[in-house]
Structures are given as structure tokens and as C-alpha cells.
Structure 1
Amino acid sequence: MQGQTNTYTSINIRMYVPGAVLALCLPCFLSGNVFGYEYGEDYYYNGISNGERLQTKTTQIPCPPQDLSRWEKLFIMLEDSEMKQNMLLQQNEDMVKVEMDSIRKELHKLNNNKACIQASENTCKCISEQINRNLNQAMEQLREAADMYQTQNNDTLQQLLQFSKNQATRLTKLESSSLLGAGLGQVAMKTFSTYPKEQEASNADSGKLERALMATVADLQRVHAQLAFFQRATAHRFLPSGCEMALLFPMRSKHIFAEVTPSMSMSLQSFTICLWAKVTQSLNRTVLFSYGTKKNPQELQLLLARHSVLLTVGGETHLVEAHSVVTDGQWGHFCAAWSSAQGLATLWVNGENVARVPGVAEGHVLPRDGFILLGQERSRSGMYRDLDSSVAFTGKITGVNMWDHVLDAGRIKEYASQDGSCDIRGNVIGWGVSEIIPHGGAQYIN
């Protein structure tokens, strides 16, 4: 009977232990507590010989709750890493898509808007700079997102690898003490073996992100090249930024000019004249601005002569000239200043002082009741039919302003900027305020 009892007990142990132990420890294993089991010493050392049933021992398998948080944190960490990775990839894709849609809309507007053909070079430049800033911001955001994702991914992987090493050490110890521990250790090692796969997946996602960034960079470079080509194609037709309109003098004719009515008397002892002009072709004498009276039709003139700019006060005997400062077919900002007290006359082109001559009409005062013409000069007879077509201006003029004092160098340089230059108003002549009437074929354009 004793032999039969031992045989019966062995059979029960073999049949019961795997099922019961797995049934009781499976929740612990699934919840991350597989390593919290501590085996009783009497279970391995003749714990059954005292006649106690195996069920009593196996039902007391501990499942301490203190190890639950380790595995939970591990799996939560894995899920958070994958979720953050997906969110970053989606955010990057949405950001790139929004930037590309915005750029395509800008290109579509530029290609379909006929008015932009006559837009200023600075406007195109501003658009290009704005797009470049948007592109740089998008690329910077993509780089930051990629770096952040890579950093988080590396930190997570390091934590997982370190944790796996610690758990592998514990599993090795458990394998030497129990077959059950060895079986569970094999299962756990299979779980840990998936971590390199996680790293491979992360590396694959990083490769996809890098390829997407390279494709985006290539698209942006193509857009930038198209904008540069468009800017070069329209550079010769633009208006200075802020100038919504200009006077067009389509051809050289004695009938084509513009008459200006000043806002105050022209009896001046000092002045500053500034305007934007783009001459189609400058001959030996081409008039930009002229003030004449019955006594002296050439009392005050701002002229072009080939590639030079000239100023006369009180007649051609008082002449100021700057050479090689004018280019046909390109916009230029021209300013002339004079003071009777010192007789100092200066010429400015594109914000740079190109001529400075003392003793010009010193003590002279401009007479009142004259006529101001743009693109032409008053005839000696005072009749429009007697105007001279050889001095007529061809091209575009805008931003015409005149002050009753000499502007300082800083103001002139500021007004020569193409950004918002037409917002300035002179107190003698103010562009957009003073009455400027075109005659003949002269007309306003925008």
C-alpha cells in the first residue's frame, strides 16, 4: 500500500502541478508578476513526504503585488513609444502637406494674376523671402521633430534593454531552480527577443522620415527655382513696393507730359525733390522734373543725359552733374537738394550721394507763379504746341515728392528703400495728394 500510495501521489503531482501552477500564475505572468514568485523550500525538499496534499502547497503560491508596476510600465512604455512615433510622423506629414499646399496656392495666384506682371521687383523679392522663411521654418520644425523623436526612441530603447538585461539575469537564476521557472523564462525571453525588432522598426520609420524630408527638400528647391525664374522674368516691369500706380510716358512726343499743381507757393529758398523713374532710353537731354516761369522756362530742372543725372537752379549756368549713375530700363530713385543760404546743391541716386557742389545759385530765390511739368519742359512762348519732343521723357515715373527744405542724408536713404517708399508725402508736392494731370498719351498705370 505504501508503494501504491507513493505512485498515486506522483501521478497526481505530474498531472496537477503543470495545470494548477500555470492556472494560478498565468494572471501574474500576464500582469508582469512572473518574477515575483518565491518558491517554498519544503516544496523541493520532500515537502510531500509528511502526508500533506499537494493542493495545499500549490494554492499558496504567492503573487506579490509589488512587481506589478514594473511590467505594466514596460508595456505602457512600449505603447507610448509607438503612439508618440505615429503622432510625430502624422504631424510631420500634415505640416509638410500644409506648407506644400500654401506654396502651390501662392504659385497659382502668381501665375494667374495678370496684375502681378507689373508688380515690383521688391514685391517678388518679398514674396520669395517670405516663402523662403516659411520653408526654413518648416524644415527647422521637421528637423526638431525628427531629433526629438530620435532622442525619445533612443532613451526608450536604452531603458528597455537595461530592463531586459536585469530580467534575463533573474530568469537565469530561476531556470536553475525550477522547470516551471525555466519554462516561464523561455516565454519571457521570447518576449524580450522582440525588442531588437522594435529597434529595427524604429530605424525603418526613421529611414522613412528621412526620405520624406529629402523629397520635401527637393520639392522646395524646385519651387524656389521657379520663383527665381519668375522674378527675373518680371524684374523689368515692376513698380517700387508701396507704389500702387505710376505715370506712363509711352513714347517721346511733345504732346505727352504731366502737369503738377503744388500744394504751396514755389517761392522757395531751399528744396528737396525725390522721385522714382525708369527711363526707356535716355538721350543727350531728357527731362524728369521741370519748373519754369515766363521769364525763365528752365528755372529748376532735374534731367537725365545718357547715363548721367543733372540739376540746374536758376538756369543752366548753375549746373550739378553726376556721371554713370543711370541705367536704361531699370528703376532708380533720384533726389536733388539745394539751399540758397549756402548755395550747396547735392544729387542722390538710390540713396547714395553722387554729387555735392557748393556755390550753386547762392542767395537765389525761386520765383512764384511758374509751371511744374513731368517729362517735359516749358517752352519760351508758354504754349504747349511749342514744346520740344527731343527732351521728352519715355518710361515710367512714380513717387514724386517735393519739400521746402533740405532733407538730411538719413531720410533720403530711407526714402530710397523700395519697401513702402510711396507712403512718403512732401509738403510742396505729395504723391497721391497733389494734383498731377497727364496730357496727351501719358496715363496712370498700376
Structure 2
Amino acid sequence: MRLQAAIFLIATSAVLAGSLAVKSAVFQKETSSSYLELVPLKSLSLSAFTLCMRVATELKGEREVILFAYRTRDFDELNLWRELDGRLAFYLSGEGVFFDVPQLGALETHLCASWDSSSGAATIFMDGKKSLTKIYKKGHNIRSGGKVIIGQDPDSYLGDFDANQSFVGEISDVNMWDHVLPASTIQDIYSGKRGPRGNVFDWENIDLKIRGSVDVITFEL
């Protein structure tokens, strides 16, 4: 789906909800200092999640790209990456789970990752299409008390950033739930239908803290 069409669909949903604008975060260049901090609506003590966003990037070649980072004082609790070889992966306090999916590009992709501790079921969705299921970190729990940022990978608590891993591109519609959404709901959200807003992060009402050179663009309706 082209960027303009995706923005229109998000805007249409916002109109139905009574909202007057949609916003998008633009990271224009590699940096070791610029990022967005996302303030959650509830504790990130999680035994399951669904994390969705719309993302576009022109970064190519063998380069890691951080898409989402949640770190506590001592651990990377949940990180979502584009790997050196283009695969997507997420990490829960240790070794990650990897998905061989189409590469991200300049045309906006609706991306979701989901995981459930009780079964270990881990999946990726791209533009409403579900990956195969992998079993990962059964019985694990994500701990609370950290910070969530977009744009950098913190190797310490909100520090030790590497420009060569930073995100360059555009991210919007970041939503997170404390449970696994049905595939049909994710497909509805991708297609622009009004779906449930995230109860951990709700992009329509999110509190964003801008650090450094990040442009948050608002599209007035």
C-alpha cells in the first residue's frame, strides 16, 4: 500500500473516532542522540503482547535497524529489529526469534509482532499477512520499570547509543496491547477499519517525549 493511501486510511479511522489529526514521527538522519520516548498507559509487566506500527525506511544493505526498544536498568526486555540480512526479529532478554519476511522499504509497511508466554507462540504480520508461528521463550515474563524508545538501541539505561543502529525513516500508528490480537483484528487495522486502540500504547493519545532531532508531523484533517 502506498504511503498516501495508508495515511488516508488512518485519517479516515481518526475521523470516525472524532479525532482531528494524525501524527507521524520522521527520523531524517543517522544519529547517536535523537529518539522518541513513549509513555505507557499501564505497566509493562507482560506475559503476552501485540505490538503494531506503520514503518517506512530507505536504509539498505547489511545494517541493523532498531524499530522499538524497551529496556529496564539491566535488561533489554523487548527489542524489535531489522537484522543485517533483512530478517525481522524480536528479543526478550536474551536470544531472539527471527522471521524471514519481505524487506522493509520506502513504501509504508504495517508491521505487527505478537507473543504469548503460556504457549510461546511468536508471529510477525506484514500488511495483514501472518508469518509462520515459532515457539519462543515459553514461560517468560516481561518486567516493568523501564523506558520505551524509538530511534535508538540503548545498551545501557537510556544511553550508549550507536548511530549505525539508529532508525532513519518514518514511524507512525504505534499501538501495543497486553494480549495477543486475533489475526482478523490485525488485518482490519491494516486495512483501515476502526479497531481496538492499544491499552499499553495508544498512538492517538500517546505522550511523546522528543529527544534531539526528531520531527513529529501532524496531518490536519
Shorter-chain TM band: 0.7 to 0.9
Aligned counterparts, 1:22-421, within 5 A: 120-122=3-5, 239=7, 241-243=9-11, 244-282=22-60, 283-296=62-75, 298-305=76-83, 306-315=85-94, 317=95, 319-358=96-135, 360-380=136-156, 382-384=157-159, 386-417=160-191, 419=192
Q: How many residues end up aligned between the 2 structures?
A: 205
SS in 1 for 2:203: coil
Instruction: Tell me: higher relative CO, structure 1 or 2? Use CA pairs within 8 A at least 6 residues apart.
Output: 2
1:425 aligns with 2:197: yes
The alpha carbon displacement at 1:397 in A equals 0.3
The one-letter code sitting in structure 1 at the alignment partner of 2:150 is: L
CA–CA distance in structure 1, aligned partners of residues 165 and 40 of structure 2: 23
Cα gap change, 1:321 to 1:308, in 2 (>3 Å):
same
**Structure whose alpha-carbon radius of gyration is higher:** 1
Sequence identity percentage: 27
What TM-score comes out, normalization by structure 1 length? 0.44
The alpha carbon displacement at 1:271 in A equals 0.5
The alpha carbon displacement at 1:247 in A equals 0.3
What TM-score comes out, normalization by structure 2 length? 0.85
The alpha carbon displacement at 1:314 in A equals 2.3
**Structure 2, unaligned stretches of length 5 or more?**
12-21
The structure with more strand, counted as a fraction of residues? 2
CA–CA distance in structure 2, aligned partners of residues 390 and 426 of structure 1: 30
The one-letter code sitting in structure 1 at the alignment partner of 2:59 is: Q
Which 10-residue stretch deviates more, 283-292 or 328-337?
A: 283-292
Contact 1:321-1:355 within 8 A present in 2 as well? no
Structure 1 stretches of 4+ with a deviation exceeding 6 A read none
CA–CA distance in structure 2, aligned partners of residues 289 and 444 of structure 1: 17
CA–CA distance in structure 1, aligned partners of residues 153 and 30 of structure 2: 13
CA–CA distance in structure 2, aligned partners of residues 346 and 383 of structure 1: 28
The alpha carbon displacement at 1:121 in A equals 2.8
Cα gap change, 1:250 to 1:289, in 2 (>3 Å):
same
SS in 2 for 1:267: coil
CA–CA distance in structure 2, aligned partners of residues 383 and 412 of structure 1: 31
Contact 1:260-1:436 within 8 A present in 2 as well? yes
CA–CA distance in structure 1, aligned partners of residues 35 and 26 of structure 2: 9
The one-letter code sitting in structure 2 at the alignment partner of 1:294 is: R
Cα gap change, 1:383 to 1:309, in 2 (>3 Å):
closer
